[in-house]
Amino acid sequence: MRKRRNKWLPREPSPEATGRVFLIPYSGCGASMYRNWPRQYEGVDLLPVELPGHETRLSEPNFETYQELAKLMATGLEPYLDLPYAFFGHCGSALAAYEVSSEITRAGLPQPATVYISSQVAPQDGPFGRFLEMDDDELAEELSKLSRELGSEPNPDLISFYVEVLREDVETNKRYVMPDPFRLDCPVTTIGWTEDVEIRHDTMGGWTACGETAFKLLPGKHHRFIDAPPELLSVLSAGLGDRD
């Protein structure tokens, strides 16, 4: 009997990988937003995660809180926590990366080697960001821009549909109020971008309250990560790949 595909992962992890990085999609998007990324880097699997209520899982209800998502994701990915691994999230999805790492710690599961936080303020400093104040027309324009940056001309019907998903994700972000965040046992690495006008790297210092924190500053604008720049892949694979 063929093994049933894990709905959280569009592709099966490689048995030869030395480590895994789980890539959580940007607000309003699904796993396909990482289509410009390689499958592996220096022996480390780069694994886009598909979220409930997004893309191939549209028939499922979207999550209302990052804590709800974290419980579901921790259970869904548990079979793949047997190698050194990390979570990566950008902007809103960075909060999901932090919350699933927190849930895994509380559940006593194998902890991540690192949680990578790109372009997001610490939980106690939010909710923060201009998306939180946008109406649906403005959100649709942002989705259109993102589609072009991913290399596709936006389809108005698809944009109209996905703006509803993005609206739900934005509302989840608005509800995320954490004045006293859980402190992780695993390290946190924040990633800022030199030309990021959405979340400046100098606003991310609050992550020190969430765990032992290292700060990285990489060249580029807010959406630079979608092109999988080598300097980002090098940061993500550090300590997970075979460097002999």
- The per-residue pLDDT for range 45-73, each reduced to its tens digit, is 999 999 999 999 999 999 999 999 999 99
- CATH of the structural domain 19-126+177-237, one choice from 3.40.50.1820, 3.40.47.10, 3.20.20.70, 3.90.1260.10: 3.40.50.1820
pLDDT at 171: 93
pLDDT over 90 at 115, yes or no: yes
Query: Of all residues in the chain, what percent are helix, strand and coil, respectively (each to 5)?
Result: 40, 15, 45
pLDDT at 153: 82
pLDDT at 210: 97
Q: How far apart are CA 69 and CA 134, in angstroms?
A: 24
Summarize pLDDT for 165-215 with one digit per residue, the tens: 989 999 999 999 999 999 999 999 999 999 999 999 999 999 999 999 999
Q: How far apart are CA 190 and CA 201, in angstroms?
A: 9
Please state, rounded to an integer, the average pLDDT across all residues of the chain: 92
Instruction: Read off the pLDDT of each residue in 93-98 and give the average, rounded to a whole number.
Output: 97
b/e sequence 226-237, b meaning 16+ C-beta within 10 Å: bebeeebbebbb
Nearest to residue 99, comparing CAs of 72, 137, 131? Answer: 72
Structure token digits, residue 129: 């960001």
Instruction: Read off the pLDDT of each residue in 104-115 and give the average, rounded to a whole number.
Output: 96
Instruction: Read off the pLDDT of each residue in 215-235 and give the average, rounded to a whole number.
Output: 96
| Helix, strand, or coil (residue 19) | strand
User: Is there a cis peptide before residue 127, judged by omega within 30 degrees of 0?
Assistant: yes
Q: pTM for this one? A: 0.93
Helix (H) or strand (E) holding 48: strand 44-48
Going by pLDDT thresholds of 50, 70 and 90, the confidence category of residue 126 is: confident
Q: What is the CA radius of gyration of the chain?
A: 17
DSSP state of 130: G
Domain ranges in the chain? 19-126+177-237, 128-175
Going by pLDDT thresholds of 50, 70 and 90, the confidence category of residue 222 is: very high
Summarize pLDDT for 138-158 with one digit per residue, the tens: 888 888 888 888 777 878 888
Residue 30: C-alpha distances to residues 8, 17, 27, 33 (Å): 11, 24, 8, 6
Dihedrals φ, ψ of 21, to 5°?
Answer: -120, 120
Q: How far apart are CA 219 and CA 36, in angstroms?
A: 18
Structure token digits, residue 111: 């902890």
